[in-house]
Amino acid sequence: MEKLPLKEPLTIYHIEGSRAVRVVWTCEELGLPYDLRYKRRDLMGSMIQLREVNPLMPMAPTVQYEGKILVESGAILEIIQARHGGGRLAPPLESEDYPCHVQWMYFAESSAMQRFLSSWMVSRALGVTIDKLPPGYRDHRKFGSIDGQDMIGPLGVYDYMEDFLKTHAYFGGTEFTIADIMMHVVINVSKLLCWIYSEDYPHVHAWRQRVESRPAYKRAVAAAVPGGLNEYGLPADAPINPVYVLPPPRNK
């Protein structure tokens, strides 16, 4: 498997607690050099820094890669893996795992995160907590209805992930891949956005423990969120933005 040399370290513009940790994690897994730019415990300062290099689409991650400014974490991970992975972090094209690996790569942002954020935004727009969404939205497993067909909401997404992980060790299939890195952020924010507890889903929970025990994950978190992450996937040593309504404590 050809492995192209990286011409210069990636510059990763980051905001603590953001999806940019995916790029850091991938670089750590592959041993690629990177220059991580953000302001500690200063989300607005980090955003201003990011805006300077990417004024039209200031999103985290924004990455400077071989002279180009790139956004979209999935695309960035795929570029890094395909060019500099040397066959690591993705199944071979001919492997049985390849189609599912690609599916989860896209599913992370296009279906899972999109549904979590939609339900969260509806709850914010209506000024109610996620568990109090009106009929059709209230069971956020079903957040809309067209001709009697319920659409799949956040809990449906969890059921689907749990079902896949019953028979697969990773979203990448038999091996850990960048699809797992993509899916981790989604699962990490589900408690904050939709009050879904990954520990209620035994296979998702076991997967999460498996991937979080990887040394590269620990190095990525130490670099990208030095104060650690709280249970909501946010920086533990920064105040929580009041735009988020946290779930009530529960006895477990």
Ligand X SMILES: N[C@@H](CCC(=O)N[C@@H](CS)C(=O)NCC(=O)O)C(=O)O
Q: Exactly one of 32, 59, 128, 240 binds ligand X (CB under 6 A); which one?
A: 59
Which CB, 22 or 140, lies closer to ligand X?
Answer: 22
> Tokens in use for 233?
């996937």
72 binding ligand X? (CB under 6 A): yes
Least distance between ligand X and beta carbon 245 (Å): 18
Least distance between ligand X and beta carbon 22 (Å): 7
Q: Exactly one of 13, 16, 18, 232 binds ligand X (CB under 6 A); which one?
A: 18
Which CB, 172 or 249, lies closer to ligand X?
Answer: 172
Least distance between ligand X and beta carbon 102 (Å): 16
Least distance between ligand X and beta carbon 2 (Å): 26
Which CB, 161 or 192, lies closer to ligand X?
Answer: 192
73 binding ligand X? (CB under 6 A): yes
Determine contact, residues 185/233, Cβ cutoff 8 Å. Answer: yes
Please work out the total of residues on this chain that contact ligand X, with binding judged by CB under 6 A.
Answer: 10
Q: What is the CA radius of gyration of the chain?
A: 18
Question: Whose CA is closest to 204, among 249, 240, 171?
Answer: 171
Q: Which stretch binds ligand X (CB under 6 A): 72-80, 87-95, 131-139, 225-233?
A: 72-80
19 binding ligand X? (CB under 6 A): yes
d(CA 129, CA 149): 24
CA 178 to chain centroid, in Å, comes to 11
Interacting positions 94-153 with ligand X (CB under 6 A): 109
Instruction: Return residues touching ligand X (CB under 6 A).
Output: 18-19, 59-61, 71-74, 109
